[in-house]
Amino acid sequence: MAAVEITLHLFPDLLPASYRERFAMHGVELYHPGILETTPIRGVPLPLMVRPHLGPPPADLKELGLAPSDEDYDVRCYSRISLPSDSLGLPNPTEMDRSDILMLGDSFGVAAGTAEPPGLRSRLAEVTGQVVFNLSVAAIGPVREEWLLDKVGFEKNPDCVVWLFYAGNDATQSIEPLIHEHNGLNTWAEVYADRRPPFLLLPDLVREGLSSRPQASAQATLPGFRFRLADGSFQPIWFLPECLRQLSWNRERWEADLGWRNTREIFKRVRKKCADRNVKLLVVYLPTKSQAYLPHVEADAQLLLSTAQRLWQETIEGGAEAFQSEALENRNALEKSFMDFCAREGIAACSATPCIEELARAGILGFLATDTHWQEIGQEALLATLVDALVNLGVVDEDRRMQ
């Protein structure tokens, strides 16, 4: 038994993946014991335990019980997704000591790192002829993105930082690490004390296997919103409930939101850090799928309300028709606040919304149907706008503009 225990500690890959995922950051402490004790909560434990992926596209809206498990549109479009991973677990195909352009973001930045089909990182490198390093980690938020830029990004000596700002949890959840600090929890080990590996793995693994865990009764999946494709057929697509609820927020509510207020302060700090290093900064607004596509699906106020209230304990007041009206009226409120803020602070910015909405009007999906994230069609739509912005900043040569 002792030999088995020692073997599991020496070779954590022998543990079932589902068991490793019980622990914080994909079980990083199984590979690097004690790393959470030295990682500040506003930081990220590196290296990440993220392996290269070769397989079907993600489907988080199936995992959340919103879309049916047998919906196969995304798999038919993308039978195989290849996502590389470097020695730090970042979505890069090779090790890079330096970069011309540093791409910073969350899971939308990770999605931009696909090698097959070619994602935004590889296409930007191809079109500009520059070295593009992808410094993106899923679900970390602007506080930790700033930390990554300080600790990893600036060490690459970039000429420009391209910050992919996702209009979902990048705006609202940026204060989470600061709340932990306010409560006296300063490291990952303190915050995630209940998600650290035990001293003895084998007994815990056996106990895990023997314990009976009754499955919670699953709610019925939702039918999805009917989106007319270019060929005239209809394809259901699903939206993340949290993003739908936020879509109804007006500008006043957004500008009072603590998360968005904190993100604005981070942008101002990073602007100064970049200027002090003679590094250009470009912030790119990435809309949620619901912001870009809600006006282009068949109207269904009751489905909209039902989706928005899924996974949420509070009832949305006012009824389905009122909520639909507010969502459509206010869907661009955060973007307007973002663009006005950047203009006021002298921060170079551009938005992916116009080019993705152009896809929507043409009956083309720029996002996966059963996932929150964009795919290579949406990323390709942004490319010309992004290259133009980089040319205007003097980062990319004029002759690299796309016709």
Each residue of 225-278: pLDDT tens digit?
999 999 999 999 999 999 999 999 999 999 999 999 999 999 999 999 999 999
Number of domains in the chain: 1
Q: Are 387 and 369 in contact (CB under 8 A)?
A: no
Q: Is residue 294 part of a domain?
A: yes
Q: Are 187 and 36 in contact (CB under 8 A)?
A: yes
Strand partners, 296: none
The whole domain housing 128 covers: 2-209+221-400
Percentage, residues of the chain above pLDDT 70:
98
pLDDT band per the 50, 70, 90 thresholds, residue 216? very low
**CATH number of the domain residue 388 falls in:** 3.40.50.1110
Q: Is the peptide bond before 117 cis (omega within 30 degrees of 0)?
A: yes
Q: CA geometry: angle at 145 spanning 25 and 197, to 5°? A: 15
The owner of tokens 């009824």 is: 319
pLDDT tens for each residue of 112-122: 999 999 999 99
Spell out the residues 6+ positions from residue 177 whose beta carbon is closer than 8 angstroms to its own: 41, 42, 141, 143, 144
Q: Is residue 214 part of a domain?
A: no
Q: Are 369 and 73 in contact (CB under 8 A)?
A: yes
- How far apart CA 98 and CA 115 sit, in angstroms, is 20
* First-last CA distance in the chain: 66
Residue 59's nearest CA partner among 272, 330, 265, 367 is 367
Q: Is 351 helix (H, G, I), strand (E, B) or coil?
A: strand
Evaluated on CA atoms 248, 253, 259, 265, the torsion sign reads positive
Q: Which residues of 94-130 are buried (b: 16+ CB within 10 A; e: fewer)?
A: eeeeebbbbbbbbbbbbbbbbbebbbbbbbbbebbeb
Q: Are 359 and 186 in contact (CB under 8 A)?
A: no
- How far apart CA 109 and CA 121 sit, in angstroms, is 9
Average predicted confidence (pLDDT) for the chain: 94
Q: Is residue 216 part of a domain?
A: no
Q: Are 54 and 25 in contact (CB under 8 A)?
A: no
The owner of tokens 């003097």 is: 394
- Identify the pLDDT of residue 217: 47
Q: Name the phi and psi angles at 136, rounded to 5.
A: -125, 140
Task: Inform me whether the pLDDT recorded for 209 exceeds 80.
Answer: no
Structure tokens at 156: 């690459």
Evaluated on CA atoms 195, 107, 111, 401, the torsion sign reads negative
Instruction: Tell me the one-letter amino acid at 65.
Output: G
pLDDT tens for each residue of 53-88: 999 999 999 999 999 999 999 999 998 999 999 999
- Identify the pLDDT of residue 253: 97
Structure tokens at 169: 């949890």
What's the whole-number mean pLDDT along residues 389-402?
94
pLDDT band per the 50, 70, 90 thresholds, residue 218? low
pLDDT band per the 50, 70, 90 thresholds, residue 211? low
pLDDT band per the 50, 70, 90 thresholds, residue 314? confident
pTM: 0.94
